[in-house]
Structure 1
Amino acid sequence: MLHIVGLGVSDDSIPYNIEDIIQKADIVYLEVFTSPDINTSQIRRICPTLQMAPRWLVEDGRRILEESEYKDVVLASYGDPLVATTHTELRVRAAQRGIPVNVVHGPSAITTLVGECGLHHYMMGRMATIMSEDTLLETPYMVSYRNAVLGNHTLLLLEYNQDADFFLKADVALQRLSDAEKSYRRGVFTPDRHCIVACRIGTKRQLVVSGSLSSLEGYDFGEPPHSIILTGRLHFTECDAIRVLTRCMDGPPENQTIKSIPQQMIEKYTPMIHKSIQDLPDCSNNEKLIVQNAISYIQDAQRALESGQDEVAILSIGYADGLVDALRISHGMDPKI
């Protein structure tokens, strides 16, 4: 049998029912590549024969599954075990081989982190991980952008390489995100953007710091692990919690949103197209029909944007622009846009 169990967010939070499972097991593995920097003294006291499970052992899984066919095997991890995709994949493979699987959930560091920052869980958007390679910044940047457009918060996990004993620190990650803003220019990581940095959550050395990117620049967050939350549209109760529960460098804004690229395009091009129409000389009746079609496309773009049809909005404003430019060219005028 295979037991996949969660130990909670710290070494002193292991539940009694999991202690019982561990003590009765034939083999106990502790996976630490998803939960670094945790004191393992309690679980070692419970199980002196504890074996550390590196990433390759869990991802490969064959040894654990083979042992589980004839022995009682525990795969333990801090937090909730099924937050890690490797554990879910191992559970599926065990079920496919007819191996009984017992899952015992534990408190997750992710949900704990959100609560410790004073944020509402239902306002959290998609998560992403920031890696040390510059070429891998596009995904966390665009995930943050899409969440921000919806007004949602973004949890950004920072790279941990168990083999190299490497943690990406928050100050480095924040600087790299600020640098990425110069390339992508969508207004996500500007100096006034509000963030929360959570450090060593669940330990006695826990620290949560909040503020604008500029106010957090150069801050010493101490030893990792660190995580970053880019806040979206904050409820007033979240603002109150941030002021009270975090080391607040400057006050959190209640209405921090980002306009989507389609919205920015419609707002930019609509007045420009109207101005181009006004600059046209006297038009024939057929040309007036073309102008009316262009105005209809502008209206279609605005309706599509309001209904969430971003692609239709961009196409419609493009059609309007093209029609008006064609009229200008036919009158010997340069295209306006």
Structure 2
Amino acid sequence: MFPVFLSVSSADESYARQIWEDLPPDWAYLYSTSGEEGAELWDEISRQELPASKYLVVFWSKDYVVAGGCTRELAQAAELVSSGVLSPLILRLDDYPIIWRDDLPRELEPVFKDLKMLLDNRTSKPNILVSDASHLVQRFIEPAMKSAHPVFPREDVLEPMRVAIQKERFKCFPAMWVSGFPGAGRTTLVEQLNRSMTPNGRPVSIDINAASLPQQISLKLESAGFGADIERLENVQNADDAKLPIGVANRIERVFQAGNYVIFRHEAILQNNVDLPEWLDDVVSALSLAQRPKLFILSAMPLLIERRLRTHSQNSTVAARAMADRKTVGQRS
């Protein structure tokens, strides 16, 4: 299920697809790309996707109002919006009116009544360009990426974490971003998750911050992950690959092959709003899918949508955020 639902007519699907491609693929439902094979389309939409969504984007146009599937979605969405469980955004692809007029076909009046429920705010200008629409959609859904940490008992967080790391039936995303306040039990969550996948595996935990460089992390991985002696560390110090993100990724792969996993701890940064270095995205992108994750990034900051997009565009991903509150999870060890 997806937090964002894109409601669009088949005539405007290519327009919506450009918006969809600018979002993380696990964030937006577009019927032509995200639908489940073999499922009855309207059943999938009405029972699963639309009720579970938090954000609705309507691609309003002259073709939308005469598309039966779209008007059914709009009618259901109007009920969800009125109950306060769905936030709508209207993108006007052409200059077709959004307020009912007497010169319009009478059979369309119910469509405009449903639309009226969505018009309190967040309506674009007519004939909006794709680039402007994409920017507007990203701003619209951004609060979901920066939402306050929810209050969950640890047992209630573990199962969503297991689901989030699964990329394919037998393959997991190579990395997971776990956000939450220090002391909330993030490390314990990661250890419990890995205990079910690699009972004898141990964490190789390394502190990382905005000023960290690949060479520094390569040296720490060699020391903490493989017990490297002085001679080995001197060789790594002089190695060209250790200065690059691929060198860090290769060492994470070696930790994984040894049956262990890596934790990057990003601490004491919430008050300064300092993000991790961008080269870390290249590290994640270089990691391959496997039967379990290889890298866990623990941060007090939530993962920004731009970073998710960057890693997805390079054929990999930071899989998901799992957040916990100090008052509940920290007490349930």
Q: Does the TM-score normalized on the shorter chain lie above 0.5? A: no
Larger Rg: 1
Judging by fraction of residues, say which structure has more strand.
1
